[in-house]
Amino acid sequence: MNSLSKYFKFYVLGILIAAIISSLTHCSDENSTSPADNFGTETEQVKRFNETVISAFESGDKQTVLNLMYDEYKEIYSNELNAAPEKMQTFANALKNKKLVFANEMYAEYELTIDGNVFTIAYSNSGDGVWKLHRF
């Protein structure tokens, strides 16, 4: 019986230690941040580039949009822009009401809604500060 009370003391001590460690390592709800709340920050350069992208799509000129892209993507998107030039204005209007998904000094991604469908558009720079249309 004596050894049983000895094990019981260790059991209680273990529970107390676990409770102390748990209370010291958990954040309160007011201090916690979730990844969904941390979208990053749009820089002024990204905001200006977004206005340039909107203007390019509003112009309806395929080449103006392509000039904002990386060379390796131009051929792919050239066909896409040929297939639906009338949609460029619709896309420009959707860009005016975009929702930030993520942004930092190298990459920015947004969601936009067209006719109830959600699409994404992304801008990036290769470290030189020159923003390009990465994908849409």
Distances (CA, A) of 46 to 84, 92, 103, 135: 26, 16, 9, 15
Distance CA 44, CA 90 (A): 25
Please state whether beta strands 107-114 and 132-135 pair in parallel, antiparallel, or not at all (unpaired).
unpaired
Residue 41: its pLDDT value, please?
A: 79
Rama region for 95: left / alpha / beta (φ>0; ψ in -120 to 50; rest): alpha
Residue 26: its pLDDT value, please?
A: 65
Residue 118: its pLDDT value, please?
A: 92
Residue 51: its pLDDT value, please?
A: 94
Residue 36: its pLDDT value, please?
A: 47
Residue 83: its pLDDT value, please?
A: 62
Residue 122: its pLDDT value, please?
A: 92
The tens-digit pLDDT sequence of the chain (136 residues) is 566 676 777 777 777 777 777 777 766 555 444 444 557 778 889 899 999 999 998 988 889 999 999 888 888 888 778 766 678 888 888 999 899 999 888 899 999 998 889 999 999 988 888 899 988 8
